[in-house]
Amino acid sequence: MDKTISRERHSDKIVEKVALSQIILCVCAFMFARVGIEGQFYTLGIAYLATLHRNSSVRKWCGLFATLGYISIAIFNVNAINYIIIAGFITVFRSLMERGRIQFNLKNQMVVVSAAMLIVKLSLLFITGFNIVTIGVVLLEIMVACMLMVFLDYGVGAILENKQYALTQKEATSVILMFVGILAGTVDFYITMPVFIEIYFRDVMVYVFLMAITYLGGVNLGVTVSVVLGGLLYAIGYIPLHFCLIYSAGSILAGILQPLGKTAVTLGMGLGNLIGFAVFNAGVLDMPLLGAFIIAAIINSLLPAKYFGFANWFKEKQREEQEKIHMMHIQDTVATRLDHFRKAFYKLGVSFQNEQFRRIELDRKKMESIVEETHAKLCSNCNFRKYCWEDKVEKMYTMSLEMVLIGQANGRIVKKDIPEEFSRICAQPESFASILNFRLDLSRQNVIYENQVIETKMLMGQQMVAVSDSINSITEEITEEVVFNKELEYEIQESLISIGIKVKDVLLLETEGELKLIELYTKHCNKNPNMLKAIIKTIEHVMHTKVEIKNHVCNPLGCYFQIIKKQKFSVLAGAAICAKGDISGDVHSFMQLDNGKYLMAVADGMGNGEAARQESKITIEMLEEFMEAGLDEEVALRLINSSLILRMENEVFSTIDVTIIDTSTGVAKLLKAGAATTFILRANDDEVVTIRSNSLPVGIIKDVDIETHHVQLEYGDTIVMVTDGLLATPEDALGREAMFKELILETTAKDPEQKAHYLLNKSRQLLSGDYSDDMTVIVGCVWKKMD
């Protein structure tokens, strides 16, 4: 068992040691060894090998891979053998340094490389013959190797340290040089395809690399890399000189389109190459190169936007990533603090709701307390106290308790309830019974008061739990992945500027890939309707979706536009009211909410006149405020209910009928608390659907019963909401619902207000002016939103 654990730990250590950065460095060693200038100078591999001085395992493994790289080309080019020998000398010198415990650094490695190259190169010249020129070439190559070591050292350090932040200019230059070296040293092969003839692997990788660098680093870096890459490929004899210009043309156009995203960079690179072929290649398309670009474009589109973490090395992309992380931290902080509030409200609310009502019936202890208090009040100064409450205390106490029990059962102690023996013993039996009654009533009132306090606490608990639910909804919204789409922001801004609209700023918010909101800031528009149309048309063209202006604020400093995705449905509503007396107790509301929903509501206060109107007004005003605050509908009604109950100075009851229509989906949510039937006229089949309620009004009981119904509406459907004055008449003149359904089918008016007045007037005619209650009709017509 111990041996097994030991083996597992040993394997874990091996895995830890073999890091991705070390694998990359080994690959670089193999590729760089293969890069030669004019088939003679393979200096890059030696210079790179010398920079690997930081880590002993990296030195050894990369030395092996560099040797393999030289061997892979030595089969075809004997010049590579010289560099195998140089690599061997470097290994020997390093072994001597390790034995002598000399610390490795860039300077002594330059000495090692210079000594190894000088020994091997001069030995070769001694055999083949030498002159001043050949010695000068050797010295120049050694200088180039030392310069390359300085350049490569920054990149090797960045990879070895696995940096996750933006590279310095020197590090970036070095890393790019390393990537270019990898491409130059790539083992090339090709695939044969119709039209494109032969597509080379190296060409594909060149384009993938150029598009990635241009997307991550912008136009300046893209053009710089294209020049360096093209120059090196030309130096090794892979491409003609004018192809360097073609690469640069593609990088320039791709860099210009870089703010628009990866796809735009790919298209820009392709278009730039076509222009390059037209200008620098006598208008002749190089089909193998074009085929390589097409394959590279497909590969680039499949690569992740972060390019496996390399995007963090580039300042612009890293800044975007930091902004995302910063936003996530803000979201987490706010959500955490809100969650603490939510938990506090919830726990407090639950603790209040867990209160238990006190029993009206008195327990033994309370009854004994009543007897003792009565005895202390009446008998303490009585001259006969010794006779009754000392000599016969047990009997008097028992009979007193019996009277309290009778009083609790019957509600009061009367003269006949006083035991005869108690009357014979006590000098003031009726006074004693009277005080018992008083104490008994006082105890009952105390219990009732305590229960009212408990009920108030429970209602407050309900409100706190409702507030907790609301905070939870806000927290969920905050923690949603809301992102600012900078690529589309830039595209919208550029498109608007191109048509003459002076844009100051654009903010585009998306949630889970869906458009949430566009906020646009422009210079003062003078309320120009043509400008509004142009903004909508341009944004729709960029977004490929229908949008509409939800809010437009204009002042001398500029304009603010709030733009949302166009809603599928629109709702037109109208109402008609008839009061029993001078003032109607019914209050209604219909309004468009900020979240794209439409509210229709009516409240019917108990009775009629000003008092009923105030009840209804309180209910509707609270509902409107809660809805505009974004509170859940059922939570809002429960808060309203508990608020009405807590108005303890008088009883406030009100039926409430609410319909909320989601204008993006057409789903209507109907909530009823004691409300009358709602009617839905279906446009397709001329059918009237009824939705009834059996719940109590709000403000009566603590746990309000809210009936909820969901209905999918279609274009042309009509919703009719009424108060019970139209349906619950004493004579039942309307036949309750049946006659009213016939009236709905009869009306031909298109305008919702005209429909409401028609239905109300017809109802009044049938009642012949005998109104038992206020009457209100609300009609909402659902239409397809106009484009």
Structure tokens at 411: 């509600």
Alpha carbon of residue 7 to chain centroid: 46
Residue 309 identity (one-letter amino acid): G
Structure tokens at 595: 């979240």
The rounded distance, in Å, linking the Cα atoms of 174 and 577 is: 81
Note the pLDDT of residue 15.
38
- Look at strands 718-722 and 678-682 and give their pairing: antiparallel
Fill in the DSSP letter of residue 777. E
The C-alpha atoms of residue 393 and residue 386 are separated, in whole angstroms, by 9
* Strand arrangement, sheet containing 482-484: 482-484, 503-511, 514-522, 558-565, 547-555
Q: How much is the pLDDT for 647?
A: 54
What residues contact 389, with CB distance under 8 A and at least 6 apart? 375, 379, 396
Q: How far apart are CA 572 and CA 786, in angstroms?
A: 13
Q: What is the pLDDT of residue 769?
A: 58
- Are 645 and 702 in contact by the 8 Å Cβ rule? The answer is yes
513: enclosing H helix or E strand: none
The DSSP output letter for 622 is H
358: left (phi over 0), alpha (psi -120 to 50) or beta: beta
Q: What does the alpha-carbon distance between residue 480 and residue 512 come to, in Å, rounded to a whole number?
A: 8
Say whether 359 sits in a helix, a strand or coil: coil
Q: What is the pLDDT of residue 5?
A: 40
User: What's the rounded Cα separation, in Å, for the pair 363 and 405?
Assistant: 10
Q: How confident is the chain (787 residues) per 10-residue block, as mean pLDDT? A: 41 45 81 78 83 80 84 79 85 85 84 88 81 85 87 79 63 74 71 82 84 82 81 79 87 85 88 89 86 89 74 58 59 66 58 57 76 78 74 81 83 83 81 83 77 66 67 65 70 84 82 75 80 88 84 84 84 86 78 80 74 73 72 70 57 75 86 85 84 69 73 90 72 64 85 89 73 81 76
Neighbours of 534 (CB within 10 A): 15
Strands (E), 247-380: none
In order of 164, 203, 242, 250, the CA distances from 210 in angstroms are 21, 11, 17, 9
Q: Residue 222: which of 264, 162, 265 has the closest Cα?
A: 265
Contacts of 625 (CB under 8 A, 6+ apart): none
Number of neighbouring beta carbons within 10 Å of residue 149: 23
Contact criterion met (CB below 8 Å) for 519 and 561: yes
Q: Report the C-alpha gap between 315 and 779 in whole angstroms.
A: 59
Q: Which amino acid is at 337?
A: R
CA distance 657 to 634: 12
Task: Write the CB contacts of 372 (distance below 8 Å, at least 6 apart in sequence).
Answer: none
Q: Helix (H, G, I), strand (E, B), or coil: what is residue 34?
A: coil
Picking from 540, 461, 443, 436, the residue whose alpha carbon sits closest to that of residue 496 is 540
Inter-axis angle of helices 315-353 and 201-235, to 10 degrees?
Answer: 140
Cα 132 from chain centroid (whole Å): 72
Place of tokens 């008449």: 729
Q: What is the distance between the alpha carbons of residues 365 and 53, in angstroms, rounded to a whole number?
A: 91
User: Running DSSP on this structure, what letter comes out for residue 730?
Assistant: T
CA angle 154, 156, 159 (to 5 degrees): 110
| pLDDT the model gives residue 666 | 86
Per-residue model confidence (pLDDT) at position 679? 92
Sort 498 into a burial class: Cβ within 10 Å, 0-12 / 13-18 / 19+.
exposed
Reading the block at residue 37, the tokens are: 């200038």
Query: What SS3 class is residue 193?
Result: strand
The two counts, helices (H) then strands (E), for the chain are 24, 17
DSSP-based three-state secondary structure for 52 = coil
Residues 6+ apart with CB under 8 A from 672: 656, 657, 658, 678, 691, 693, 695, 706, 707, 708, 709
CA proximity to 711, closest of 672, 747, 757: 672
Q: 234-257: string of b/e by CB count within 10 Å (b at 16+)? A: eebebbeeebbbbbbbbbbbbbbb
Decide: residue 397, CB within 10 A, 0-12 exposed, 13-18 middle, 19+ buried: middle
pTM equals: 0.47
Residues 487, 261 contacting (CB under 8 angstroms): yes
